[in-house]
Amino acid sequence: MLHAESYDEALTKRAMTRDCLTFTFADPPNELALETGKKLGPITLAYETFGILNAEKDNAILVCHALSGDSHVSGEGGWWSDFIGPNKAIDTNKYFVICANVLGGCAGSTGPSSINPATGKPYAMDFPIITIRDMVAAQARLVEHLGIPKLLAVIGGSMGGMQAIEWAISYPDGVQAVIAIATASGLPPQGIAFDEVGRQAIITDETWQKYKGNYYGKGIPEKGLSVARMIGHITYLSKDSMKEKFGRRLQDKETFEYSFDDAEFQVESYLRYQGNKFTKRFDANSYLYITKAINYFDLSRRFGSTRNAFKNVTATFLVISFTSDWLYPPELSKHVVGALQANGVNVTYVNIESNYGHDAFLLPNDVQENAVEGFLKNQRAKLLGKHDADDEHETAGESTLS
């Protein structure tokens, strides 16, 4: 038998190792029925797993990514590596973490850039409109494929938070707990407006226009996608974070050049860099489809009210917002919390002081990490039958509005 230290080292090594896998389902004639009424299949989801699924298969946590994310959530280069991993807030020594690239994405999952089996060519704009509900339906098929009867938790921020909420609604028996961060039951008109400007930047790009979106193998609408990403980045930051990060400082110069040729201000240089970098890893059509899915997510329209949307929810909720987030401001989270409370759902709310805007949920933050770690520990203890009733009331049964 291994000594304790050797076992811990072996477990840590395994927890840091990611499995890059794909799952294909919905082969005709059993295509996935989409919310629009159309059908799609076959469908491939690219996903990664971290940690070990225990014998009881009750330690699984599904992580849902935001607009530009992918399945690589942890480890070197992972978009939430500070948050997920061995001995971190979501401890892969304890939990089996799953993250899948969403339906409609461009990082291995079926999307507009995938081959349409009917034509042998990329779908392009023949790809059907998809919704958050469709993304979650595909994830549910993956979870079923992995033999997991019930997820311990689903967690996500921004669009990922919408998916987490949708899990509690569409699969109330499939998830014990939901952690919804910097998200909403429906994106406000300001957010929809920014998304539309980004989409128009892509659609009016000369390359996109030339091929009517079927640009695969012919060119990339780099200018339009770059501008869309620049617009997005502005919404992810805050006034204070931009002032702190850039101010009015110039980029590699001391005086104005009075020219349009180069980025004179540091903030201009940053946005151009982010835009150009994005075109190397993301598909413009996926940006169109995914932002549309975000815009269509509206629980009030779908159910008559947000309160009605949660009437069959059984999961325990942790809802987190950030004070400087103007894309998904705290009042949107409070609206979700109020609707959950009206249905008697066990919900904890934490509004975190931060100057980093919407991006705050992706950055190291002790308050967020402690809240999530404690919440998951509580849920795990409850599952194991070791939960103390007094502790439950103190840590998970109260809603804190701040």
List the catalytic residues: 158, 325, 358
Which 8-state DSSP code applies to residue 34?
P
β-pairing, 19-25 vs 43-50, is antiparallel
β-pairing, 90-91 vs 121-122, is unpaired
Dihedral sign from CA coordinates of 114, 125, 231, 258? positive
The whole-angstrom separation of Cα 311 and Cα 340 is 8
Query: Which helix (DSSP H) or strand (DSSP E) does residue 61 occupy?
Result: strand 60-64
Neighbouring residues of 55: CB distance < 8 A, sequence distance ≥ 6: none
The whole-angstrom separation of Cα 171 and Cα 191 is 27
Single-letter code of the amino acid located at 70: D
DSSP 3-state of 161? helix
- The position carrying tokens 């039958």 is 385
A 10 A CB-CB count for 141 gives: 16
A 10 A CB-CB count for 392 gives: 16
- Asked whether the beta carbons of 336 and 349 are under 8 A apart, the reply is no
End-to-end CA distance of the chain: 50
- The position carrying tokens 């599952």 is 383
The whole-angstrom separation of Cα 312 and Cα 64 is 22
- Asked whether the beta carbons of 330 and 351 are under 8 A apart, the reply is yes
The whole-angstrom separation of Cα 49 and Cα 68 is 19
For residue 400, give both structure tokens.
């804190």
